[in-house]
Homo-oligomer: A and B are copies of this chain.
Amino acid sequence: MTDTLIDRRDLAFQLYEVLDTENLTTRERFSEHSRDTFDAVIETADKMAREKFATHNSAADKDEPKFVNGQVEMLPQVKEAVEAYAQAGFIAGRYDYELGGMQLPESVMAACNGFFTAANPGTAGYPFLTTAAANLIRVFGNEQQKTTFLPNMLCGRFSGTMALTEPHAGSSLADIRTSASPADNGHYLIKGAKIYISGGEQSITDNIVHMVLARIKGAPAGVKGISLFIVPKFLVDQEGNPTERNGVSLAGLIHKLGYRGTTSTALSFGDDAPCQGYLVGEPHQGLKYMFQMMNEARVGVGFGAAVIGYRGYMHSLEYAKDRLQGRKASEKNPESSQVPIIDHADVRRMLLAQKAYSEGGLALCLYGARLMDDQHTHPDEQKREEAGKLLDLLTPVIKAWPSDYGPKANDLAIQVYGGAGYTREYPVEQCWRDNRLNPIHEGTNGIQALDLLGRKIWQDQSHGLQLLMQEMQVDLEAATTDRCQQWALSLSETLQQAVKVTQSLGKSLVGGEVDKTLANASCYLHLFGHIIVAWMWLRQANTAAHALGSANSDNERNFYQGKLQAAQYFFHWELPTVAQDLVLLRNQDDTCLNMKSEWF
């Protein structure tokens, strides 16, 4: 078992050599930062993740939270880890100095959080949810709500949840039924049931702040009648101290396949006792507010999937270097020594694929984080707007691609370990189980595909798509070595075909063939995702090819050669798989659309 969560050399390459994150320090918001301060925070995250989170990752999986006498029993190390995270200032890492924050760029915070998820996704879930809930209050809450809840959340005394899903509606938020009735003092009384609420109950913090979607009585049907409420587990006094219990209660814990450290709960509101909720912002705007936070949440899911993929890759790489077994096919002498399994070409294939998926996924997510930084802090207003549009367009890909390919990487990690990988004595099976959540939550990947092909591509007269192609053009032209130019050519040809098919799908949509056009949206998402990740690999390859000439040690040369070989893997083994998507999309293949329920 390796200690490495994310290869620091790779992270430095991606942040500083590919993305020029240091350049952010020229912006006013980050002017007190330097590469040194960024690296110090990253070092703190890496160390804390290894020492406080990784240490109980397996234990928290094996000994998952239990519902005993109305309380949730959990390993004490979870509370310690979450408190350490909050005390180090990570929950408020992005915030203004005056709010007690560190004014860190999203790029650096995302990298830091990567270590925690790689180390222990179950425990990391709690502070991440708190961060998300606090962001909602910070942006949309009124002054009183901010004063009452934010300080307690930022220091880790209160945690947060996102309470959207209901049992009968699942992904269909338009159908939620939880109701809110106006009561005295401008409060609302909340009544209903929620399910799959992560962190909905725990024994870590003094209070839990649920961000709840509900309908005010008489609200319009569908997504336009949903409001957002703060529903604390304990009511609080003026100073924000917890007082009496609010009427939200744990109906049961859900037992998951993985991510077991994070409780998943069924919650009931207003069942046994009145449940107070405080409206956030305007009535009926709840889903709009949620969706403004959704990009972050979805990028977060993609990031998590990429780094769990990465973690399995690190484990299986170490194992493959250590484990002796068999000989090359050409070696006929049975008395020759067994070789490390990394010497078998098929094992190298499985490691290269993992490298291509996890480093490619990491590059994609860090690019997404950089877009967030540009959207919020780029000195040029037009660039800020453009970054926002690019991020909007890419969000379904950043959510779905790593959550499709991170689990594939973990599957290969198990296979590299062979029989050992199938046992709970080795760490990779947990990575695989944990990662399986990511294609499901924050909008299944099927929903991401509909979001991309049904909405994002066409938004603003496809301005996002045009911007994207301009950005790609820069890197296509920056390819200078033979290898990079060859890859740039493949990418550019694939891109042209994708554009053509996009135009034909657009015509079909305009012609009113909505169901038929969207029937194969998942192929479109795969096509689009592979093109984007191929671009990420071209960017890395361009940088590596350039740096290779002036690299001054074997280690450095090996690092860059590895990047180039993984890029080659992606261009030879992965990008061509989209040929099939192109055919199905071009033909608007109707096999699935026309399958009848009664034929199954």
Contact = CB atoms under 8 A, between A and B. Distances in A.
Interface of A: 165, 168-172, 174-175, 195-196, 221-224, 254-258, 264, 317, 321, 323-330, 334-335, 338, 340, 342-349, 351-352, 355, 411, 414-415, 418-419, 421-425, 429, 432-433, 436-437, 439-441, 444-446, 449-450, 454, 514-515, 518-522, 554, 558-559, 561-562, 565, 568-569, 572-573, 576-577, 579-580, 583-584, 589, 591-600
B565 A591 contact: yes
Contacts of A437: 422
A600 B418 contact: no
A330 to B, nearest CB: 4
A298 B419 CA distance: 16
Contacts of A418: 170-171, 440, 444
A422 B446 contact: no
A419 B558 contact: no
A170 B341 CA distance: 11
Nearest to A225: B334
Report the 9 A-B pairs with minimum CB-CB distance, sorted nearest first. A222-B334, A562-B599, A345-B519, A349-B592, A330-B514, A172-B326, A257-B429, A346-B446, A255-B424
Copies in the complex: 2
A305 to B, nearest CB: 14
Nearest to A222: B334
A108 to B, nearest CB: 26
A348 B592 contact: yes
Nearest to A564: B599
Nearest to A424: B255
Given A418-B440, A565-B591, A592-B352, A584 B600 contact: no
B572 A584 contact: yes
B576 A583 contact: yes
Contacts of A554: 598
B329 A450 contact: yes
24 contacts: A170-B323, A170-B418, A171-B326, A172-B325, A255-B424, A257-B424, A264-B423, A321-B597, A328-B515, A329-B518, A330-B514, A345-B519, A346-B449, A346-B450, A349-B522, A351-B595, A352-B592, A415-B440, A419-B440, A422-B436, A433-B433, A565-B594, A572-B591, A577-B580
